[in-house]
Structure 1
């Protein structure tokens, strides 16, 4: 990855940890950080040595949401340009969320502190969420007169159900880890000191299988709620045909047959 100012990337045992790195601003997202985040995910997706990804934040917070400087610039724009400029910025936001959600490798959000607004949307875009004890989460958009624009209206109902998602979005309620775990907003809780260690171990566990099988499984499951049973079956048939041709499948069958023939 080219030099980045607001994103850091490290690798351990095939797991890339992508860290939002503006700790003085609780990792608020600005345009440059978003571009660096997209680049980091694209590079991790293309790197055959990377099997899984952890997304976390530097310092005390995961991500406080969109940078207030961008909001101020939006208000200062000429009235006739506000809507079109906003549309273009939204495209950039959605490219960032799509880079997280659309990657073919398992992604765990390690929420080390506050995840508000767009920060929570980004965590929800990951496949799994583990949060540190004491972390707080909020769909805080209505407090700024805005709608959830980073995918939260898509991802949150799939985790907590439609009515609960509406309640959390419309009230901007701050949810702490125990409640978040109880309602299914997050999947696991860890102590702050053990958060990244447990995320690493979980990521390694999730990536023991064939990369092709994992990627195809993710693609199909992510479409399940929008697809009919026959569409899912059809996607599964095609995915299985691809898996039949992989080196991992061939080796596993040969190993099994060799063991049983002894």
Structure 2
């Protein structure tokens, strides 16, 4: 796909860029000097604005999240953490409120998205950057990817709910090992552990992520949104509740025009 197919989606100020390729949106964390630290307001605020824009735009069918430069995201700004500046400074109750008003806005905004989100992990994803990876529905890693829930190495915990997402993706045993050791997992090991669906050469990362996004975006959009809702509930509710939900959503599908058109297209003779 050529660069001239890229359209600005309107949220390009600051250090998170939102672009469009047809029905696919690309959200790029763009603060290479801090390795895309998501706790910095110049990254955090446009990131949240971009997620809200995608949430409200029904023409967007898939979102791809990646980082500019050599890192996906270093997570927290290590200099601010060391110096206890910004959201990391002050008494415990002040830090607690800063987390709620700051970095915890990311998982809430991600949870509000009804569309599939793909993480294209282009390098180190540490701390809150690792958490952002696991907030996404699908993950593709470049060969240079390094994923680490490294909070314990800094005497900290995941303050943005990352262990909730990590445990759901990795399972309790792998999540515990990653959280207790804080060690980094490379792309190949991440694929072997099921943390990412595939690992590809760095040069092929975005083309691979965009090809997957376009494959998903080609499907009827409301069915995809409902499928994501069902996947989110899997493991959270009992079977009876899941079956009730499936029946209700399937009723909407069967009665809708989207399904009728999709079935008619599928039944056309192949020339």
Q: Give the alignment's TM-score, normalised by structure 2.
A: 0.88
1:156 to 157, 160, 166: 166
The structural deviation recorded for 1:26 is 0.6
Cα distance in 2 between the residues matched to 1:251 and 1:51: 18
Cα distance in 2 between the residues matched to 1:56 and 1:135: 11
Q: Deviations over 1:209-255 (max 9, x none)?
A: 22111111111211111110011111111111222233211223444
Corresponding residue pairs, total: 256
Q: Who is 2:149 aligned against?
A: 139
**What 5-or-longer segments of structure 2 have no aligned partner?**
1-9
Q: Who is 1:6 aligned against?
A: 15
Q: Deviations over 1:37-74 (max 9, x none)?
A: 11111111222332111000000000001123543225
1:206 to 196, 201, 216: 216
Cα distance in 2 between the residues matched to 1:3 and 1:207: 23
SS of the residue aligned with 2:203? coil
Q: Cα RMSD over matched residues? A: 1.9
Q: Taking structure 1 as reference, are residues 75 and 218 closer, same or farther at Cα in structure 2, changes over 3 Å only?
A: closer
Deviation >6 Å, runs of 4+: none
More helix by share: 1
CA contact (8 A) 1:105 1:214 kept: yes
Cα distance in 2 between the residues matched to 1:85 and 1:113: 29
SS of the residue aligned with 2:60? coil
CA contact (8 A) 1:101 1:126 kept: no
Q: Who is 1:197 aligned against?
A: 207
Judge which range, 157-166 or 231-240, deviates more.
157-166
1:58 to 68, 73, 83: 68
Q: Give the alignment's TM-score, normalised by structure 1.
A: 0.91
CA contact (8 A) 1:106 1:207 kept: no
